[in-house]
Structure 1
Amino acid sequence: MTITDTSQFSAQLRSVTQEDHHAAESSDFITTLMGGERSARDYTLLISQYHYIYEALEEEVRALASHPALTDIFDLHLERGAQIIKDLEVLLPMHDLEEIPAALPATEDYVAALRAAAADPARLVAHHYLRYLGDLSGGLAIGKLVSRHYSIPDEALNMWKFDAIEKPKLYKDAYREKLDIFGANPSHAEAVLDEAKRGFQWNKAIFEDLLRATSRKVPAAS
């Protein structure tokens, strides 16, 4: 893939991944979950898969956080792992689950991809962008939706809270500027674009696995 304007690399990244991003977020599992047609248990299973994803991502990011080219991007304040554990400590007992459900096959594939990406830090940047910019962009809305639809208590919605980031919009703008600088290196740009597309595809596969593993819970008509 040829980079034509590295000064706006972040905009190109968004454009190139738009189709895969839309395919992932329009997956039946996610649209029905956000539409109130599933259950709090299904939401718990989703957060359980995120546990494995963020555990892998954050271990690899911490190992590379001091890399000169990555230190500005790999902000450890973005980490979600501890927040996910807090949420699961509330959610699992609510659904008679004694331990975190096992990683689904697609989740295992994604985790393996995250581990492999650490060998080429530019590819890990793609996953960092995909996960955390997505969380900062849609997290507040997701938290409100699942709270309303499934009576998820506030103490189980830590995944979507970024207390260390006072102004998410300004933070995201600054993050994209850092991506523009990082993407000025053509080899970095190529790797990020390629891996980000794959990242959305792995996420879509996880949603498809979750769809197969759960049954839709349509609320009774009032």
Structure 2
Amino acid sequence: MLDDGTRKSHSVAENTEFVSGFFKGIATKDSFAKLVKALYFVYFEMEKAFEETTDANVKALDYKELRRSKALEDDMAYYFGEDWKNVITPSAATEKYIDRIREVAKETPELLIAHQYTRYLGDLFGGQMMGGMATRSLELENGQGVKFYQFDEISSAKDFIEEWYTSLNSLEISPETKQAIVDEGNLVFRLNIDIFSELEGNAFGSFLRVAWASFKEKYLS
């Protein structure tokens, strides 16, 4: 349901913008720190909404293994120091994103499913690859600064995603609500692109660094 709806509405330009945005994010350590900071605010607000909602469908899809706030807190300490809570503030695009989460949680909580789907499944599906690219591009210490991408309680991403989809498809949701969730998922996709757009960095340069690091690891080590 959601996958078909979001894929059909995402243009090639939007998908390219999303991918190039991630490469901008790993262009420099400072840029990646800003990206992780934005994700911290987003996930804090998302997971607060999941805890507080009484919507049964959202609760059914709220697997604790997916929670990212604790991992992001570790990453915050790595990039901003132990006093990170007193030195970070959300960017304009991040504020817009978390305002939307608050609005949905208050007025149409069933649409939180779109936020679960768009962020969690994307992170789980591509997390290992993205975390690895960030580690190589920025020459991070092994496992440091990329805890967000590590799902230690999930042994098989493929099996977990299939289980999550089974739970999703078993929910009793009206056609109108399904379409509203798809529409919300597309909005969330754009909100993520807006966060990437704020980052400074050379996407192509990041891509080359990742490619070179992979080549050295495979052929020269």
TM-score (normalised: structure 1): 0.81
Query: Relative to structure 1, is the Cα distance of residues 24 and 82 closer, same or farther in structure 2, using a 3 angstrom cutoff?
Result: farther
Map 1:26-37 onto structure 2 (within 5 A). Answer: 26-27=19-20, 29-34=21-26
Matched, 1:13 2:5: yes
Greater share of helix: 2
| C-alpha distance in 2 between matches for 1:152 and 1:173 | 32
Cα offset for 1:24? 4.5
Listed one character per residue, the Cα deviations across residues 75-131 of structure 1 (whole Å, up to 9, x for unaligned) are 1221111100101111224xxx89543211111000000111112122111011111
Query: Relative to structure 1, is the Cα distance of residues 63 and 98 closer, same or farther in structure 2, using a 3 angstrom cutoff?
Result: closer
- Structure 2: give runs of 5+ residues left out of the alignment: 213-221
Matched, 1:109 2:101: no
| C-alpha distance in 2 between matches for 1:198 and 1:183 | 23
| C-alpha distance in 2 between matches for 1:10 and 1:197 | 10
Listed one character per residue, the Cα deviations across residues 7-53 of structure 1 (whole Å, up to 9, x for unaligned) are xx2442343344386155234x323445xxx2111111110111110
> Counterpart of 1:4?
none
Query: Relative to structure 1, is the Cα distance of residues 197 and 11 closer, same or farther in structure 2, using a 3 angstrom cutoff?
Result: closer
> Counterpart of 2:217?
none
> Counterpart of 1:61?
50
Matched, 1:43 2:35: no
- Structure 1: give runs of 5+ residues left out of the alignment: 1-8
Code of the aligned partner of 2:43: Y
| C-alpha distance in 2 between matches for 1:26 and 1:87 | 22
Matched, 1:208 2:197: yes
| C-alpha distance in 1 between matches for 2:153 and 2:29 | 27
Preserved CA contact (<8 Å) 1:53 1:107: yes
Code of the aligned partner of 2:89: A
Matched, 1:25 2:18: yes
Query: Relative to structure 1, is the Cα distance of residues 74 and 21 closer, same or farther in structure 2, using a 3 angstrom cutoff?
Result: farther
Q: In the comparison of the two structures, how many residue pairs are matched?
A: 204
> Counterpart of 1:75?
63
1:143 match: secondary structure: helix
2:155 match: secondary structure: coil
Query: Relative to structure 1, is the Cα distance of residues 78 and 206 closer, same or farther in structure 2, using a 3 angstrom cutoff?
Result: same
The share of aligned pairs that are identical, in percent, is: 21
Code of the aligned partner of 1:83: A
Code of the aligned partner of 2:18: E
TM-score (normalised: structure 2): 0.81
Code of the aligned partner of 2:161: K
Map 1:26-175 onto structure 2 (within 5 A). Answer: 26-27=19-20, 29-34=21-26, 38-64=27-53, 67-93=55-81, 99-118=86-105, 119-153=107-141, 154-175=143-164
**1:195 aligned to which of 184, 191, 196:** 184
Code of the aligned partner of 2:175: P
| C-alpha distance in 1 between matches for 2:66 and 2:177 | 22
